[in-house]
Amino acid sequence: MREIIFDTETTGFDPATGDRMVEIGCIELFNRVPTGRTFHAYYNPQRPMPAAAEAVHGLSDIFLSDKPHFAHGVEELLAFLEDSMLVAHNARFDFGFLNHELRLCGRPEISLDRMIDTVAIARQLHPGAKHSLDALCTRYGIDRSHRVKHGALLDAELLAQLYIELTGGRQIGLGLAQEEAKETVRVELVETAMVRPVRPARVFAASAEELERHAAFIATLANPLWLEGAQPG
């Protein structure tokens, strides 16, 4: 099963008020395993970058000024996404901006049926706990020491690790490894059984001399336990 982990950076919180997407980062998973394929792009938002947003992701007006508009790179993005399920943290936020950009360039929106929200998964697994990406990375021991500022591709990479943890990825891998080990042992046992030489059954019978000595010994016993309660014949 192919899934895409993605994250966005924006000029603010609400596309309805004119905010735009300025960066997207995507990681491809196949059967919960990263394939190494990624997609990453910056976009010129065609509006000034608020200082508060720049403080979060570090993307300035000068840096974005020579970047393409979203409409100029939409084909490449859609080709990477294909029809795969899309995984994001607080996914409605990222879907909202992605679909807003698609609408602006006259493209169909991506159905919310394709949305997987890791915040929703985390709330089911850890009710009452903190569900930010930072907090969950700490909970699952995911190293984020190199994360100085938010970045779409970096956050997508962290989220890919988190998603695998939230969906039991390590345990699944361990189970497969155990099954493979069992199968190897089973094959080795079968092969060993096939080459083991067949030996005749051993006969453990007392000799006449041994039986005579045993009878003499029994005769020396007074009131043996196995005769207690026995009736004379």
User: Residue 106: pLDDT band by 50, 70, 90 thresholds?
Assistant: very high
The helix or strand, by DSSP H or E, that contains position 125, with its residue range, turns out to be helix 118-125
pLDDT tens readout for residues 154-177: 999 999 999 999 999 655 444 444
* Structural domain total, the chain: 2
- d(C-alpha 227, C-alpha 52), whole Å: 99
User: Residue 226: pLDDT band by 50, 70, 90 thresholds?
Assistant: low
- 89 in any annotated domain: yes
pLDDT tens readout for residues 24-39: 999 999 999 999 999 9
Do both 31 and 138 map to the same domain? yes
- 133 in any annotated domain: yes
Active-site residue, from 40, 69, 126, 150: 150
pLDDT at site 221 = 77
- 226 in any annotated domain: no
- 203 in any annotated domain: no
- d(C-alpha 80, C-alpha 26), whole Å: 9
Answer yes or no: is 19 a known binding residue: no
- What is the pLDDT averaged over residues 77-102? 98
User: Is 150 a residue of the active site?
Assistant: yes
Do both 83 and 52 map to the same domain? yes
Answer yes or no: is 155 a known binding residue: yes
Q: Which domain holds residue 186?
A: 173-197
For residue 212, is pLDDT > 60? Answer: yes
Answer yes or no: is 72 a known binding residue: no
Do both 117 and 177 map to the same domain? no
pLDDT at site 214 = 75
CATH number at residue 161: 3.30.420.10
- d(C-alpha 83, C-alpha 141), whole Å: 32
Answer yes or no: is 9 a known binding residue: yes
